[in-house]
Amino acid sequence: MYNITIYVVIAVCLGLLYITTVAVYNRFFHPLSNIPGPLLASWTRLWLVYRTIQRRSHLSDLSLHARYGSCVRIAPNELLISNIHYFKTIYGTDTKFSKSPWYDSIGSDGHDFNLLAEPNLSRYWQQKRLISPVFTTQALRQHQALLARALDTFITKFMNKANEPQDLVRWMNILALDVLTEMTFSCSPNYVLAEDDDGNCADIDRFWQHLSWIGLLPTFNRCYKRIQKLLENVGLTFLYKPDTGRLSIIQFYIAQIVARSNESPELASGHRDIAGTMHNVRAMKPELKKEWADIMLLHVVGAGFDTLGATLASCISLISETPGCQSRLVKEISDAGIDEDLEHEDLMGLVYLQACIRESIRLKPVVATSMSRTIPRDGLWIEEKEIPGGTIIGMNPVVLHRSRELFGDDAECFRPERWLEASKEQHDAMEYYDLAFGSPARSCPGKNLALMILCRTVADVFRHFSVHIMRDSEVQRVGLPAFKEASFFVYKPYNIWAEFTTRKNLSA
């Protein structure tokens, strides 16, 4: 017994000595020891994990830069920066920076295809070029009737809900689910009619919440996956498995994909929807594997519905809350003489509508944490400090999009006019330093689809309704849940309460 106690004491002492040695090295002798940042962050990566679990990076990263400057050490081997002069080096089309180990937590979908997580930039571009013809604006214009059909269902539903408080975020998520499925397969699960998302929103939130922190600990994540799989094999499922395949909307997509696969080539090629276009592109490009095409169709909704819903809710909310903004937008739509048969070309010509959408995406970007990259072997000089290769570095879009150097002294304000007043040089700069749809080197393949849906939905909503966003005092008075927001890789608002009043005409 005495000998065992001695061994335990020795083991504990050695463990404490190791932890202390690592902490002292990280703090005083590490190559990043001269970079300012929180004390605990310099000792251990667990500080970053703890902060991530709090889901406040859209606010805390702003505070970090305000306190420590443009280059902040947020982990022993990770930096958060805001200096736009390093943007092109990190995110430009010719970058040699690779995605950080965090993205390994997303992984591939079993067939080496995941554009979000793909670490090899050459392979990323090869795969993206194969599917990009499906998502050009020209190709997507063929599906405008499907978008209109889904929106008509939503507008009709809300005609019967006028002047009642509605959870804008919840409804925009429901609408996004129906719109994306309608445009992809010419049918939808009719969540708008059911007034329910079938648990998809809660499930996708849990997925991102889990990956947001566990991806910061690659070794622990690998161990977690092995243990989870071993337990699952013996019938124990209490450890969470991050699998979007369990979402009911993904099951709906899989059923549609299987049904299309059983159709004759002539019938399959005749569908005027995204899946039909994908089928025709694959027929012209044999190198586009069927598995890759199917996975990309799943990503249309799996990687898009919640972010699209959040963006729609933020955009409508900001337009409605900003004095004079809603009336100016409605007047622009009215003056354009746009009728029920909205065309995307017409909407693109509404400059104030486009400015409102750009401004809302700027202030409320989809990603609200550091878009982390790994510095290549040659290293990097930042503000006269040498940063060694292998260091993780990134910018938070929320911080970048509030740069006064780019957007002026009122960068934190929602002011669509900035996009109309800017010179060509300023306008080009604001567009270039935009991480809302990814970086120049790795832009979102669904960007054109998202923008088309945003333009049509925002225009349709304000054509038919006057929208009032309830103040906190109003929400509290009627006993509704208060507004909150969170960030766990993606940015999510919750409980934006709105009242919709039907317009008798566009001048009302």
Over the stretch 149-199, which tens digit does the pLDDT of each residue have? Answer: 999 999 999 998 888 999 999 999 999 999 999 999 999 999 999 999 999
Dihedral sign (CA 243, 248, 252, 253):
negative
Rounded-to-integer distance, Cα 20 and Cα 17, Å: 5
Q: Where are the domains of the chain?
A: 2-212+243-502
What region, left, alpha or beta, does residue 190 occupy, with left being phi > 0 and alpha being psi -120 to 50 degrees?
Answer: left
Q: Which residue has the tokens 């909310």?
A: 317
**Residue 216 DSSP SS3:** coil
Please compute the mean of the pLDDT values over residues 98-120 and round it to a whole number.
84
Average pLDDT over every residue of 244-259:
93
What percent of the chain stands above pLDDT 90?
Answer: 78
What are 479-495's pLDDT values in tens digits? 999 999 999 999 999 99
> Which of 127-136, 268-277, 335-344, 398-407 is least confident?
335-344
pLDDT for 7: 74
pLDDT exceeds 90 at position 473: yes
**Mean pLDDT taken over the chain:** 93
**Taking a C-beta distance cutoff of 8 angstroms, is the pair 362, 484 a contact?**
no
pLDDT band at 467 (very low <50, low <70, confident <90, very high): very high
Token pair in block for residue 332: 């622009």
Residue 109 has a pLDDT of 64
| pLDDT above 90: residue 14 | no
pLDDT tens, 174-183? Answer: 999 999 999 9
- At residue 1, does pLDDT exceed 60? no
Q: What is the pLDDT of residues 310-320, one digit of tens each?
A: 999 999 999 99
Quick one: pLDDT at residue 247? 92
Neighbouring residues of 282: CB distance < 8 A, sequence distance ≥ 6: 288, 290, 293
Structure tokens at 98: 């690779």
Helices 168-185 and 200-214 sit at what angle, rounded to 10 degrees? 100
> What is the band of 474 on the pLDDT scale with cuts at 50, 70, 90?
very high
What would the mean pLDDT of 424-444 be, rounded to a whole number? 93
With a CB cutoff of 8 Å and minimum separation 6, the contacts of 369 are 52, 57, 58, 61, 212, 396, 487, 488, 489
Identify the weakest region by mean pLDDT among 102-111, 140-149, 155-164, 232-241: 102-111
Which band of pLDDT confidence, cut at 50, 70 and 90, is reported for residue 303? confident
Closest to 50 in 3D by CA, of 60, 62, 63: 60
Q: Is pLDDT above 70 for 359?
A: yes
pLDDT of 282-296, one tens digit each? 999 999 999 999 999
Label each residue of 94-113 as H, E or C: CCCCEECHHHHHCCCCCCCC
Pairwise CA distance, residues 282 & 285, whole Å: 5
**Alpha-carbon gap, residue 458 to 170, rounded angstroms:** 16
Which carries the bigger pLDDT value, residue 28 or residue 488? 488
Query: Reduced to 3 states, what is the DSSP secondary structure of residue 503?
Result: coil
Q: Give the least confident one: 18-27, 86-95, 355-364, 433-442.
A: 18-27
The amino acid present at 166, given as its one-letter code, is: Q
- pLDDT, residue 265, reads 82
Rounded to an integer, the average pLDDT of 304-331 is 96
Q: Which residue has the higher pLDDT, 337 or 329?
A: 329
- Model confidence at 506, pLDDT cuts 50, 70, 90, reads low
| 2-212+243-502 belongs to CATH 1.10.630.10 | yes
At 383 the pLDDT is: 87
Give the pTM.
0.93
What pLDDT does residue 245 have? 86
Q: For residue 56, what pLDDT is reported? A: 96
Query: Average pLDDT for residues 418-423, to the nearest whole number?
Result: 96
State the pLDDT at residue 339. 67
Angstrom CA distances, 247 to 11, 202, 205, 455, stand at 45, 10, 11, 27
